[in-house]
Chain A
Amino acid sequence: MSHERRGLEFWILTVFFVLFVLFLYGPLSAILILSFQGPSGGLTFPLNGVSLHWFYDLTQQQAVGDFGGSFRRSLMLGIGVMLVTVVVSLLAGLAFRRKFLGATPLFYLAVASLVVPSIIVSLGIGVMFQQIGIPPAWYSSAFGAHLTWTLPFGVLIMFAVFNRFSPSYEEAARDLGASSWQTFLHVLLPMIAPSLVGVGLFGFTLSYDEFARSLMTSGTYNTLPLEIYGMTTNVTTPVLYALGTVTTAFSFLVIAATLGIILWLGRKRAQG
C-alpha cells in the first residue's frame, strides 16, 4: 500500500460522518425496537416485555381507517406512477437529444414542477377536478399529482444519462444495417437499462411516500401516507410504530430488489 498517512482532517471527518449516519438511523431504530413492545407497553422506552402484539393488532380492524386497503391503493398507485414515469422520462430524454420547437419551455416546465410547492399542486388539481365536476380519486387526480413530482426527477436523470452517452454506438449499429427500432432495442436500451431501473425506483418510492400531493387529490379513499397521517393524530399506541416498521421494511425490500436488478443487469451485460 503506497497510501499516504491519514491526517487529522480525515479522522475528524470520519467521526462527523459516523455521527451523521447515527443521526439518520438512530430515531428509525427507536421506532423499530418499540414496535416490539409488550401488550402493556406505551409509546416510549422502556420496553414492557417483547411481543408481536402490535403487529397482530395492525391486522385487526382499526378504530380509524383501513390499513390493508390504503396499502393496496398506495402499492397500485406507486406501480402505475413508476411505469408511466419510466416510459415518459425515457421518451422525453430521447426527444431532448434532438432540436425541437418548444424544447426550452418544456425543460423549464419540468424544472418548475420540482419547485412549485406540493401543497399548491394538490390544491390546484383538487379545485380543478371539483370545478370540472369529476370527483377526485387516487387513480385519476392523485395519479396526475404524483406524476408532477416523479417526472421531473426522471427527466433530469435521463438528461444526465444521455449527456454521457456517446452517439457513436448508435451510428455503428446503423452502419451495420440496423433499423432505428433495432438500434433502440438492442443497443441503446440495454446500455441505459440500469438508469431506467433507477428512475423506476425513484418513481415508485416518491409516489408511495407522497403525502402533500395526495391531500386534496385522493378523494374518498385514503392512500397509505394519508392513513399514517390520520393515525399520528388519533392513535396513541405502539400500533403506529408497528405500521412504521412494516412500511419501512417494505421500502427497504423495494430498494434491495432494485439494487439486485441493477447488479443483475450489469452482470448480464458484462457476459453478453
Chain B
Amino acid sequence: MMTIAVEQAAAARRPRTRRAGIASLAAYLQAAPLALILGAFLLAPLIVIATVSFWDYDFARLYPDFILMNYQDTLGSWVTWKTYLNTLKFAAIVWAVTLFLGFWVAYFLAFHIRTTTMQMVLFLVCTVPFLTSNIIRMISWIPVLGRNGLVNSTLIDMGLIPAPIEWLLYSDFAVVLAMTHLYTLFMVTPIFNTLMRIDRSLIEAARDAGATSFQTLTNVILPLAKPGIAIGTIFVVTLVMADFITVQVMSGGQSASVALMMRNQMSLLQYPAAAANAVILLALVLVMVAGILRIVDIRKEL
C-alpha cells in the first residue's frame, strides 16, 4: 500500500522536477521525528533487553557479562514450558471466540444495515466501551460473576442451582471472558473495514447466478474478508500473548502467562531473567505475525 502511495505521489510530481531537491529534503525532515522517537523508545530498548538478557545479576545489581544462564534457566524449566503452553492456549481460545463474534458483528453492520449513518452509529456504539480503562472494564466483571454476583444470585433465585457456581470468577473461564470483552473490537474493526470495501455488485452477481446466501458467504465474502481477519488476528494474538493484568486479576492468581511471569521477575528485580523471557516471547510473537503475513498480504489493505 505504501509503495502505491509513494508511486502516486511520485507520478503527481514528475512534471515538477524543479522542486524535487527541496521536496526530498522535506520528506526526510518530516519523517525524522517518527524515526527518532521509535529509534529511542523502541529500537534502543529492544537492544538493551537483548544485551541485558546475557548479563549476570544478584539481588541488587546487574553485572555486564556474556552468560547463557538466563536462557538456560528459562528454557530448562518445566514451569516455563507450561506457562508458554498456557499462554498459547489463551491465545487460541480468545482468537477463536473474538473471530466468531467479530466476524458476525462486522457482517451484520456491513451487509444488513442499509444506511451509512446507521452503520456508523452502531459501529460507534460498539467502539465507545473500548475507549475506557481496561482495568475498570475488567473489575466490572467482579460484581457480575462473583460468588454473590448477579449471575449466581439470579440462578439461585430462579432455583436452577442450589449453591453458587465457583468457577465463574477467578478461573480460566473468567480470563477468557474478560479478554473477549477487552479485545473483540480489534477483530471487529479490521473485518468491518474489509467488508465495507467489497464491491456490492459481486454479491448481486453471486445472487443472480443462483447462489444461496450461505454460498455467497463462503465463496465470495469469506475469501475477500481474509485480509481483515488477518489484521484482527495479529492484533488479538499479540495482545493476548502480552497480557498479564487480565490473567492476574481474573484468574485470581491461579493461572499464569508469559507476561505475568515476566512481571513477577521484574518485581523481584530479576531483570536479566525477565529480559531472556522477553527475547523468547518477542521471537515467538514475531514468528506468529510473520506466519500470518505469509498467508495474506495485508499491505494492500491500508
Is the CB–CB distance between B125 and A228 below 8 Å?
A: no
Is the CB–CB distance between B289 and A20 below 8 Å?
A: no
Hey, which chain A residues are within 8 Å of B150, CB to CB? Answer: 30, 44-45
Is the CB–CB distance between A155 and B34 below 8 Å?
A: yes
Is the CB–CB distance between A21 and B143 below 8 Å?
A: no
Asked whether B129 is an interface residue with its Cβ less than 8 Å from the other chain, the reply is yes
Asked whether B4 is an interface residue with its Cβ less than 8 Å from the other chain, the reply is yes
Measured in the bound complex, the distance between the Cα atoms of B188 and A69 in whole Å is: 36
Measured in the bound complex, the distance between the Cα atoms of B244 and A225 in whole Å is: 14
Is the CB–CB distance between A91 and B31 below 8 Å?
A: yes
A26 closest partner in B (C-beta): B144
Asked whether A92 is an interface residue with its Cβ less than 8 Å from the other chain, the reply is yes
Is the CB–CB distance between B249 and A103 below 8 Å?
A: no
Contact with A along B235-249 (1 / 0, CB 8 A): 100100110110001
Is the CB–CB distance between B129 and A167 below 8 Å?
A: no
B145 closest partner in A (C-beta): A27
Is the CB–CB distance between A131 and B133 below 8 Å?
A: no
User: Which A residues from 60 to 112 make CB contacts under 8 A with B?
Assistant: 84, 87-89, 91-92, 94-100, 102-104, 106-107, 109-110, 112
Asked whether A255 is an interface residue with its Cβ less than 8 Å from the other chain, the reply is yes
B41, B107, B112, B274: residue with the most chain A Cβ atoms closer than 10 Å = B41
Asked whether A205 is an interface residue with its Cβ less than 8 Å from the other chain, the reply is yes
CB distance from B174 to the nearest CB of A (A): 12
Contact with B along A1-19 (1 / 0, CB 8 A): 0010001011001101100
Is the CB–CB distance between B23 and A144 below 8 Å?
A: no
Contact with B along A123-134 (1 / 0, CB 8 A): 111011001000
Is the CB–CB distance between B245 and A251 below 8 Å?
A: no
Is the CB–CB distance between A209 and B2 below 8 Å?
A: no
CB distance from A223 to the nearest CB of B (A): 11
Contact with B along A108-125 (1 / 0, CB 8 A): 011011111111110111
Asked whether A56 is an interface residue with its Cβ less than 8 Å from the other chain, the reply is no
Measured in the bound complex, the distance between the Cα atoms of B135 and A97 in whole Å is: 39
Residue from A3, A106, A208, A252 within 8 A of B31 (CB atoms): A106
- We find that the number of chain B residues with CB closer than 8 angstroms to chain A is 91
Contact of A24 with B140 at beta-carbon distance under 8 Å, contacts A100-B24, A100-B27, A115-B234 already known: no
Asked whether A248 is an interface residue with its Cβ less than 8 Å from the other chain, the reply is yes
Is the CB–CB distance between A232 and B271 below 8 Å?
A: no
Is the CB–CB distance between B143 and A163 below 8 Å?
A: no
Is the CB–CB distance between A123 and B262 below 8 Å?
A: yes
CB distance from B300 to the nearest CB of A (A): 11
User: Which B residues from 73 to 114 make CB contacts under 8 A with A?
Assistant: 101, 104-105, 107-109, 112, 114
Is the CB–CB distance between B126 and A21 below 8 Å?
A: yes
Hey, which chain B residues are within 8 Å of A215, CB to CB? Answer: 263, 266
Measured in the bound complex, the distance between the Cα atoms of B214 and A7 in whole Å is: 13
Asked whether B213 is an interface residue with its Cβ less than 8 Å from the other chain, the reply is yes
Is the CB–CB distance between A88 and B245 below 8 Å?
A: no
Hey, which chain A residues are within 8 Å of B149, CB to CB? Answer: 44-45
CB distance from A210 to the nearest CB of B (A): 9
Is the CB–CB distance between A212 and B30 below 8 Å?
A: no
B148 closest partner in A (C-beta): A44
Hey, which chain B residues are within 8 Å of A109, CB to CB? Answer: 35, 38-39, 42-43
Hey, which chain A residues are within 8 Å of B255, CB to CB? Answer: none
Contact of A45 with B135 at beta-carbon distance under 8 Å, contacts A103-B6, A121-B45, A145-B41 already known: no
Measured in the bound complex, the distance between the Cα atoms of B4 and A163 in whole Å is: 8
Hey, which chain B residues are within 8 Å of A123, CB to CB? Answer: 45, 49, 262, 266, 271, 274-275, 278
B240 closest partner in A (C-beta): A117
Measured in the bound complex, the distance between the Cα atoms of B249 and A205 in whole Å is: 22
Residue from B2, B48, B114, B128 within 8 A of A96 (CB atoms): B2
A120 closest partner in B (C-beta): B278
Is the CB–CB distance between B181 and A24 below 8 Å?
A: yes
CB distance from B75 to the nearest CB of A (A): 18
Is the CB–CB distance between A125 and B259 below 8 Å?
A: no
Return the 8 tightest CB-CB contacts between A and B, nearest first: A124-B45, A117-B242, A95-B30, A144-B41, A27-B140, A95-B31, A97-B9, A92-B34
A–B Cβ pairs within 8 angstroms, 16 of them: A25-B129, A34-B143, A43-B146, A91-B31, A92-B31, A97-B8, A98-B23, A99-B10, A103-B2, A109-B38, A120-B46, A131-B62, A212-B242, A244-B139, A248-B136, A255-B128
Which residues of B does A touch, CB under 8 Å?
Answer: 1-2, 4-6, 8-10, 12-13, 23-24, 26-28, 30-31, 33-35, 37-46, 48-49, 52, 62, 101, 104-105, 107-109, 112, 114, 122, 124-126, 128-129, 131-137, 139-144, 146, 148-150, 153, 181, 184, 213, 234-235, 238, 241-242, 244-245, 249, 259, 262-263, 266, 271, 274-275, 278, 281-282, 285-286, 289, 302
Which residues of A does B touch, CB under 8 Å?
Answer: 3, 7, 9-10, 13-14, 16-17, 20-21, 23-28, 30-31, 34, 43-45, 84, 87-89, 91-92, 94-100, 102-104, 106-107, 109-110, 112-121, 123-125, 127-128, 131, 144-145, 147-148, 151, 155-156, 159-160, 162-163, 167, 171, 201, 205, 208-209, 211-212, 215-216, 224-225, 228-229, 232, 240-241, 243-244, 247-248, 251-252, 254-255, 259
